[in-house]
Structures are given as C-alpha cells and as structure tokens.
Amino acid sequence: MSMAHRPLAPFVFAFLLLVGLSAFAACSGAGGSASPSLPARPIPGDNPVPLAVDKRAPTPMPGVSPSPSPTASSLCFSSAPPTPGPVTPTAAPVRLDSYNIDPSKVFVAGISSGGFFAVDAHVAHSRTFKGAAIYAGGVYYCAQASVALALADCGGETTPNCQASYASTLAQSEAYLDLQSRLGAIDNESNLRGQPVYLWSGTRDEVVNPSEMVDLKSEYQHYGTNVTFDNGFAANHGWESPDGSVPCGTATDPYMIVCYQNGQPYDSEKTWLTLFFGKLHARNNGALHGRLLNFDQTEFGASASTGMDTNGYIFVPHSCAEQNRCGVVMAFHGCRQIQSAIQTKWIQQAGIDEWADTNNFVVVYPYAITSTVNPTNPQGCWDWWGYDNDPNYAVKSGVQMSIIYRMVQRIDPSAPN
C-alpha cells in the first residue's frame, strides 16, 4: 500500500526518526582505532538490553528510507545525503558478458544494507549461491517489510549509550524462511547445509548491533552451514580490508575500515575467500592484470524506479576473459557507498579484486542509487525492507532480487532458473 493511503504512517515514521536521531546525535563524533591507545568509550556487549518495541504484526511501509542527521556519522545517518542520481561513466557501459563459470564456486558478499540484501539473496537462491560473506548484516527478512522494525530491531537506530538498537527477529525470520521454502518462493532451505559462511561483526558497531550478527550466526547454524564468525576486533561499522581508508574504530565515509592484527593490516577477504576457493595463490599487490569493466544494468531491469543505477562494474581476470574455468563473487555495497557519493572507492578499497586477479574468479559490483520519491531511498541502500513497494523483496520474485539474478544468469548461462 502506498504512503498516500496510509495517513498515520508519516507521523509514526517521523516520531521514530526523531527519537533515533536524537539518540544518535549524543554519540556523533566518536571514533578511534584498534590500537592499544584507543580512548575509553562504551562498547556494545554480547547481550545488550533491547529497546522496548511494538512487536505486533508488522505493517509494511514501503517507499520509506532512513533520513540523515546533521551531526551523526554512520551508514544510515550522516552529515548530508549523497548527491542524488547516477554517475555518468567516462566510457559507455558495455554489455555484460558470459563466462565459463564453475557452478560450485558462485558466492555472494555484502556490507550493511548490502549485507542484509546478500543474506536475502543467498537464502532465496541457495541452489545457486554456494556460500556468503556478510559484514554487519542480519537475519533473513529481518525487517519484515517494515522500516520501523528495520531501524529499531535490525540496524540504523542508535541509543543514547552508543549501542545500535536491537530486538531479535530470529524466530520470525526462521518461520518466514521455512514457509517460503515450503511454498517454493525461495530455493529449498536444505541447499544451505554444508555451505561456507563468513560473518564479520565489530564489537564497537554503532549501526548494526553485534547481537544481530549473533542471531545471524544462530540462524545459519540452524540450517547447517559452516560458519566462521570474525568478531574479535574493536571495529565500528564498515567493510574491513587492508586497503581501507578509515581507522578500525571509526564510522565515517566511505565506511571502508582497516583493522590491525599483530601490527599488520588484517585481511578479512583472505579468510573468507579461502573458505570459498581453498588454498589461494598470493594476492596481487601491484598492477592488476585483469580488467574492471563498466556494464549496463538497465537491460536487466535496473532503473530509478527500482532503486538501481544505470551501470555496475565487473572485474574480470585475464584467465576468465580467456574462458578458463572461473568462480564468481557478487559483492553488494552498503548505504552511502554508491557511485554518486564515493565514486568507485567501494571497489578500490574492498580488497577482493587483488585476490581475484590471481585466483580465477570474477567479481560483480552491482550498484543502487539514491532517490527521494518512488522509491524513497536517500542513502542509496539495497532494498531489504521493501522500499520499492515490493512485498516480495526477500524471495526470488522480488524486484531487485530478480534483476540481480538475471545478471548471474548472464554471467553463468548454466545457472538454474
């Protein structure tokens, strides 16, 4: 149902934002690093006390997106919303090509909104995606088609003690997953058994509470996946990479953090890529031999009305371009990491292409965009709560889900329907 037919929804949402933004303002400006000199500050515990929230059946509120605060610094609330609209590439986007893909080596990864979306994609297409790497995401269908629950229960709202707001939706998530599996709206949940899953959660994350990732760990274990939980770093919200430009304990644009272990930059990508592909050849720290290609997303259905940019990117190692057998990693950015906000820093600092170049797998970087009306998505998030008026956003028939999967089928023509 549209907002025009829900006269109370704007007032409920405005009140929710007012409470959340006031709380987050008390925490803004916090930062730091993972070094021993880190100043003392509140650390989210393993079992924070959840806020009291209305647990009645959720009311879908598509077409709504968190709005920015003038003082806070996080993926959901920043100094100003990113500049709306797509970025025109220097060269015309090319047609996405097909490659010789090993169907046992097709994976998904994502951060924040892209992490929630990657979980939805992994579960919906578990026959195709053989594993997932999730940074600061949450359980499947976490928001239950409600922006109110998305903010208060899953991620985006911060309490006065600088903890991300949280209330478990694990039981509802698993019930919905089981139902959709029985109905055939997603691939059978039995496909998840035995698949590798990597989870990253910083102990100082002020946007997605660490307890949300504990729930995700429990959910994945419930369905029999092999989970590696990387949750020992005093990290704030962001994608961790040795190429990151933001200190480990700081939440700010472009939300690409670097953490240190034994005095050296930590390489979280090496951890999960090893889970996916086995023993890796050395990372290419020099000029890459592969090519980063700008491709047309519109032929798959991407448009302003679906919350997606006109173009995305794919990194193709030389061996894959020569049609040797290769794998695939589909990587989803977080809110505010769209091209109009940070250009291609998401790709440049993700730390994936450097491994792909020497280990025979392509990396696909689809892009969302900002929009202010129809859909309302001012931070350029992926749709993990139904903002594009799509109640089926978490199942195979979802709007963005379908667009993304058509890309997968182009890259790997053998991918199942």
Spot the catalytic one: 122, 125, 237, 333. Answer: 237
267: region left, alpha or beta (phi > 0 left; psi from -120 to 50 alpha): beta
Residues present in the chain in total: 417
113-124 helix and 399-411 helix, angle to the nearest 10 degrees = 70
Q: Is 333 assigned a catalytic role?
A: no
Annotated catalytic residue: which of 153, 187, 205, 253? 205
- The one-letter code for the residue type at 1 is M
Sign for the CA dihedral angle at 128, 130, 133, 138 comes to positive
Question: Would you call 146 a catalytic residue per the annotation?
Answer: no
Amino acid found at 276: F
Decide if 240 contacts 268 (C-beta within 8 A): yes
Residue with tokens 């006065």: 160
Amino acid at 165: S
CB of 231 within 8 A of CB of 213?
A: yes
* DSSP secondary structure letters along 309-349: -SEEEEEE-HHHHTT--EEEEEEE--TT-SHHHHTTHHHHH
Q: Which of 33, 112, 146, 319 is catalytic?
A: 112
Is there a catalytic annotation at residue 73? Answer: no
Peptide bond into 375 cis (omega under 30): yes
Active site residues: 112, 205, 237
